[in-house]
A and B are shown apart, each in its own frame.
Chain A
Amino acid sequence: MADSGVSGGADKKDNIEREKIEGKELTKEEKQRLRKEKKQQKKGKEKKDASLPQVSVAETAAPASQLKAERRARQEAERTSKQSKKGDTGQPATTSKPKIPPNELQPVVKRLPEHIQVDDPDVLKKLAKKLERQQTTENSEIQKIPRRLDYGYKVSLFSHLLQYSRKAPLTQQLSIPSAVIHPAIVRLGLQYSQGIVAGSNARSIALLHAFKQVISDYTTPSNEELSRDLVNKLKPYISFLNQCRPLSASMGNAIKYIKKEISNIPSQFKEDDAKKKLLNCIECFIEEKIVLAAKAIAKSSIEKINDGDVILVYGCSSLVNHILCEAFEKGRKFRVIVVDSRPRLEGREALRRLVQKGISCTYVLISAVSYILPEVSKVFLGAHALLANGYVMSRVGTSQIALVAKAFNVPVLVCCETYKFCERVQTDSFVSNELDDPDDLIVTRKGETQLKDWQQVPRLGLLNLVYDVTPPDFVDLVITDLGMIPCTSVPVVLRVKNVDLL
């Protein structure tokens, strides 16, 4: 564990600079380094600007001493609080890493994801180069990750996003056998891009299973350490999956967790033991974050479901379906209204599952929601991700349902596991979204397909959005595995989670 702290020396310097600027507390080592740097700086300044009065040096010294005093005081307080929380053994190792203790404000060192900068040609060039770099030269064959191309006319408001066609999956551009990408990942990518695996929980679980396969098939090459090489091996896979379909927030968190676990493997572990440990970690993640979380959420939600309730659900959320089935088994009497929307029509899947259980259901399309809402007593919605400013990112149409429910004074409850919480912020559904295949909107009614040749008509565009964001004033309650919280408490939960290192 200690070696990873020492290795990133240069990065640490930058970190220290940044922290100093924002007046934060530093650990003992960092303080020592800072003192050294300051001495060097002073020497440099004296050499360069001999003409400058000593005041400047004194000025830099005076606030620095103030900062030092503040830092010392804060550090004492921090140390006592930390020691009361954790054991001493874990402390030096963890704090020596570049990761800053959670009570501090993290500086924003963000890189915009490429999939929302499609209209910038420089970004596209960089992406192409990155995909080329992530090739392996196994068997003296250089293969690169293929790049998926845009399809169709894009609406001008969304020209910064990618729009793919389902008929041209990425795997067509791969040669067989592909030495770069593990076949389990290829299969997964194809399942994502064709929509066979959909829904954030399903996608995350499928991803973790595929990674388990990759890890068990992995062999460390000589002269390499497992902890570093495996992470590098995973990078092209992740790029490939990103090209097939942009990663969801839950998948992003899962990948972060795996990478952290891999890099935490001590170097003295044998390969088999390391692999076993990793597989175990992944199992634990799925068990805790997804399965047990669902049980906990179901337990809290059942208190909110009363006899005689009429519950409205939208689309197919695995978590909400689970909750309703559990409540029905526990003997609650309620009926469900399933609202669905074109073109995905996921509600039919939810309908099938609920009817199989024996729950009495009604089915409408989203345009009829203001007709049916006066009968409804509660609305249960699932979420794709919960953003740090309290907005709920979910399937397109969710915000609409929340809006109409608010107008009719019907309570809206969102159910979401904590591993879907995301540090991004977003205020509208334009900047970061996903565009699905526009051909899905075409429909044939009474033998006539109105939009059959939409590509030929010059000014016609079809927009098939996948996600939208719901403002927090439409949502009354969020049910998570940590309890029932208001929508605006999401950043609090994120901080608490960071203490536990996810």
Chain B
Amino acid sequence: MGMEEEEQVIGDFNRWRQRPELAEAVAAIKALTAVIQRSQASTMMGLEIELKNASEMLKAWDRSSISLSAGCDLFMRYVTRTSALEYEDINAGKSRLIERGERFGDISLKARETIALLGQDFVQDGCCILVHGSSRVVLALLKLAANNGKNFTVIVTEGGPKKTGMEVSKKLSAAGIPVTVIVDSAVAYTMDRVDMVLVGADGVVESGGIINVIGTFQVALIAHSMKRPFYVAAESFKFARLYPLDQQDLSISTGQEESSNPARDYTPPHYLTLLFTDLGVLTPSAVSDELIQLYL
């Protein structure tokens, strides 16, 4: 693939990424869809190879993003499956893939709605929810619960050093939900008052654990030791075929340098109670089930 091709793919990707509502994985898939549209290949195999190259480039562009590589893998998986079916006309095959790629954007938004619908059942009147990190899915979930007339309060961790918690709290209070912001070190202190913890995920790994913004593991440990349920809201395209054994293993597989200031950590499945996904409410062990079916 030439330099221009590469720039185009990455350019596409960045453009899509700028849309705030779009998940990274979806942006990647849209970029790949654009590749199909531009493709001059005359066979499905040729198309597949082009896509594979584009996908590798995207992954190399941002090694540390789990959902990006998960999204690429997912789309490639779909492509391989589709091209296995005999399409007499390459154009028919292409249009099928393009259609699927474009639907993916809708699917991702739809996924968020599905998760919000499933998850808001777990929000009870009068409960207090602890939120860590900034996830659009979690926001959608809480907004839906509030719209359905549930009364609950939210405690948001500050999320240093970038202070992402402030943005989250603004959005939540705009939706009419009472919010409190606490410093990250005060999680154990507040855990007494909390009924459940809710976080999003950058990626969900084969063991059923999650990769999320730094600090999630800490919160999970505290919640587990104080017997509070820990819920994760994640779309199914974030399922990745990684299997980290520990934090160091994580940084190796994602290729990020093991630094003293990591951006993400790995929470083992043992500390998670349930995952809200668009495939349903799953236990951590079911994640591998879904992954095996997906990548059969």
Partners in one complex: no
B binding-site residues for A, Cβ under 8 Å: none
